[in-house]
Amino acid sequence: MADEKPLSWSLCPAGDVLPSFEGAPAAALPGAPARNEQPTDIEGDLLSGTESQPQYQGNVSLIRGDQFLGTDHMRFDTEAGTYVAEGNVRYQDSGIRIVADRAEGDQDTDTHVIRNIRYQLVDRRGNGGADSIELQGPLGQLRHSTYSTCDPSQQAWELRAQQIDVDSDEGFGVARNAVLRMGRFPVLYVPWVKFPIDDRRHTGLLYPSVSTSGRNGFDYRQPIYLNLAPNYDATLTPRWMSKRGLMLDSEFRYLYEGGRGIVTAAYMPSDELRDRDRGRLTFTGYHNIDRHWQARASLGWVSDTRYVEDFANRLAGVSASYLRSTAGVYGSGQYWNAGAMAEHFQLTDYTLSDANLPYSRLPRVFANWERPLNHWLDAGVWAEAVRFEHSERPGGSRLDLKPYVSARLAGPSWYVTPTLAWRHTAYRLEQQLAQRLGGDASPSRSLPVASFDAGVYFDRATTLGDAAYLHTLEPRLFYLYAPYRDQSGLPLFDTRPFTFSWGQLFRDNRYSGADRQTDANQLTVALSTRLIRQSDGREKLSASIGQIRYFEDSRVVAPGEIPVEKGKSAWVADANYVINDRWNLGASYQWDPKFRREDLASIRARYLWPDDGVANLSYRYRRDLLEQADFSFLYPVSPTWSIVGRYYHSIKDDKLLEAIAGVQWDSCCMAVRALARRYVHNREGELDNAIQVEFVLKGLGSAGQDTERTLRRAILGYHRDDLYLVPPSNTTPDRDDYDPNLIP
């Protein structure tokens, strides 16, 4: 998965436990002849004996294909194909490397017995010892053996077994009557355990997950992995919760040349807390039809409105109150993109009713086209047709067309982009909705929309300390004009006012959809500046400030919206400053001069410690909505120990939202994470407690809760590959959303 962090072996000593043997051949190449089809070459310092039973002494080597056997003394029977090697025995092939006291075998049948050995796997980390190993082709059987991915000098864990069977062709080992030891202490006995010796997937039991919480009680999950074919697999996970009962969870994945997909399902026959059956079904996938068109779907269903809260599932398309399902065909080319899709919503908030759900779009068809007419003039059109349906409210259909022309006038340090568009939106409404809006079942709206965007770039070379920078100053003007049209007879299917922000300064509509087009006579004045490091092009500083001047009152108002009056908007400012390679600061601010109040304030800081440490501090305020503080960190106390934590608090409500405290221990081949967590778990804001413990035996697997998923969500930069300063939105826009309000 994308959010899985690769295993780190950085704490392990450099080099192999058993270095590659001098004179050993390279690993067999794909398509090379089988081992038993290749000749056997034997060399040594001294040859004695007879022609049929030669004896080699001193630096003896036997090579066949990828197989190497080195020793001080070897007796070979050429007629029987058998050999006996004694003294400083070294054996190596594509899968394993061995040192031993004695080896004997049959080259014709490719069988070997090697005694008193130490071994190391070649394809992946893994080493150990055994009284003896019997090899027959790709199969091996170790007696009274050990296995670990640790370096012998740092033996944090070890698997000891009476017998370990290894299959190099299939890529797995099976240990029988095995004891798992942590250091010198035995912690687990298993009569039979299967483990990988390379990166291939195998059917078998995965490590269980055990947890306890006030919501579910004792919670045990036992994943069962089914490697059905090279291009598809499945995982079944029986789950028992002492307060609820038994649940079966499942995941099916498939992959083929033209696409891929994942199906998940869960079913609980009877939830003892809810006294009903519970379940979930999801599908996400795509299929490439040709180089222009792709079919995609993201579908979800849950049995009831409390399912997401009770089982905390990460469902694609889920928000605070609903689950979104979409399926469609999408295409794109050099000058166009288009799509036909269907969209449906399911309620996941038990405090609401279906009347609160958005309209489903069944279906929706859109097309966008733009191409240059010459070297300075572009023409294009946005087009969309939608059928809106709702189980609790009357719906209708909408056609939205927005053709436009735009000029691209620019020089090395300036640009001017005038744009003229015509927007026509027409409806066919169900009778009940038409009567509510004035009686017209086919209302429409047409108007021109004109904008003028202009900017200048100034730059100069400067220095700060010993570093050379390029300093830019970038003033920008954006004028927007759209005449008033009475839109009170139009419905509101999918349209809402945008939250005022920096991006809103340069849009030609303050609404998110086609049901409302703002009337406007306004000018945006903005200024940006940047400090760009000359040596590598990285920004030291970026800062922007802007404001809209409204020359007239806006008469188009959505229900519940505060009218936009003549005058000035709030100032919008945003800045990011890189103090050094470790410190990064950012801030956003909105100040309304009319009411002399701040509408928004956000301050964020990040500090990077060496060895993957990170600390984040942020403060967020939006007038009348929220005021929150958030602190999270991963602090490396030593190369092996680190502490993690988060404190997320609502200042407005004086209420804890989430608190995490934990410790991590990471060695060469083993990691342990222990977390204590207190968090809001339902719509009423009630708090729940949870304790999570995970043991990671590198190269063998992990047991316990998936603590890494919790930490990556709570601590920005936990993996150091997601070092964004601003957290991603919980409602990321769909890449196929039709947005005719963007400036062309």
What lies within 8 Å, CB to CB, of 350 at 6+ separation is 304, 305, 306, 309, 683
Which of 120-134, 338-352, 662-676 has the largest mean confidence? 338-352
> Band of the pLDDT at 744, cuts 50, 70, 90?
very low
User: Can you give the pLDDT at residue 725?
Assistant: 43
Q: Kindly report the average pLDDT of the chain as a whole number.
A: 86
Structure tokens at 247: 């649940």
Pairing of strands 414-429, 444-456: antiparallel
> Band of the pLDDT at 730, cuts 50, 70, 90?
very low
Structure tokens at 40: 């056997």
Question: If you average pLDDT over residues 219-223, what whole number do you get?
Answer: 87
User: Can you give the pLDDT at residue 732?
Assistant: 38
Helix (H) or strand (E) holding 712: helix 707-714
Which one is predicted more confidently, 401 or 673?
401
Which one is predicted more confidently, 351 or 549?
549
Q: How far apart are CA 93 and CA 630, in angstroms?
A: 54
What lies within 8 Å, CB to CB, of 595 at 6+ separation is none
Question: If you average pLDDT over residues 90-118, what whole number do you get?
Answer: 87
Half-sphere exposure of 145 (CA within 13 A, CB side): 27
User: Can you give the pLDDT at residue 31?
Assistant: 60
Query: Which has the minimum average pLDDT: 104-118, 170-184, 319-333, 514-528?
Result: 170-184
Which one is predicted more confidently, 197 or 409?
409
Half-sphere exposure of 52 (CA within 13 A, CB side): 2
Question: If you average pLDDT over residues 210-237, what whole number do you get?
Answer: 86
Each residue of 670-698: b (16+ CB within 10 Å) or e?
A: bbbbbbebebbbeeeeeeeebebbbbbbb
Instruction: Give how far the C-alpha of residue 499 lies from the chain's centroid of Cα atoms, to the nearest Å.
Output: 27
> Band of the pLDDT at 48, cuts 50, 70, 90?
confident
Q: How many CB atoms lie within 10 A of CB 110?
A: 19
Query: Which has the minimum average pLDDT: 92-96, 376-380, 679-683?
Result: 679-683
Which one is predicted more confidently, 167 or 549?
549
Amino acid at 527: L
Question: If you average pLDDT over residues 86-96, what whole number do you get?
Answer: 86
Q: How far apart are CA 610 and CA 312, in angstroms?
A: 34
pLDDT at 15 over 70: no
Cβ(555)–Cβ(564) below 8 Å = no
Residues 169, 172, 178, 180, Cα dihedral to 10°: 140
Q: How far apart are CA 391 and CA 510, in angstroms?
A: 29
Instruction: Give how far the C-alpha of residue 222 lies from the chain's centroid of Cα atoms, to the nearest Å.
Output: 24
Q: How far apart are CA 54 and CA 72, in angstroms?
A: 14
Query: Which has the minimum average pLDDT: 481-485, 495-499, 549-553?
Result: 495-499
What lies within 8 Å, CB to CB, of 581 at 6+ separation is 608
- Please give the share of the chain, as a percent, with pLDDT higher than 70: 90
pLDDT at 121 over 50: yes
User: Can you give the pLDDT at residue 706?
Assistant: 65
Q: Which domains does the chain have, with CATH numbers?
A: 35-185 (2.60.450.10), 203-330 (no CATH), 613-719 (no CATH)
Bridge partners for 629 per DSSP: 619, 649
> Band of the pLDDT at 698, cuts 50, 70, 90?
confident
Amino acid at 8: S
Which of 112-116, 400-404, 633-637, 709-713 has the largest mean confidence? 400-404
260-292, pLDDT tens digit by residue?
A: 999 999 999 989 988 899 999 999 999 999 999
Structure tokens at 567: 């005058």
pLDDT at 731 over 60: no
Which one is predicted more confidently, 188 or 534?
534
Question: If you average pLDDT over residues 88-107, what whole number do you get?
Answer: 87
What predicted TM-score, i.e. pTM, was given to this entire model? 0.76
> Band of the pLDDT at 372, cuts 50, 70, 90?
very high
Which one is predicted more confidently, 481 or 107?
481
Which one is predicted more confidently, 50 or 199?
50
Amino acid at 135: L
pLDDT at 193 over 80: no
Which one is predicted more confidently, 444 or 680?
444
pLDDT at 6 over 80: no
pLDDT at 310 over 80: yes
User: Can you give the pLDDT at residue 714?
Assistant: 85
590-637, pLDDT tens digit by residue?
A: 999 988 889 999 999 999 988 788 999 999 999 988 999 999 999 999
pLDDT at 377 over 50: yes
User: Can you give the pLDDT at residue 528?
Assistant: 96
User: Can you give the pLDDT at residue 475?
Assistant: 97
pLDDT at 701 over 80: no
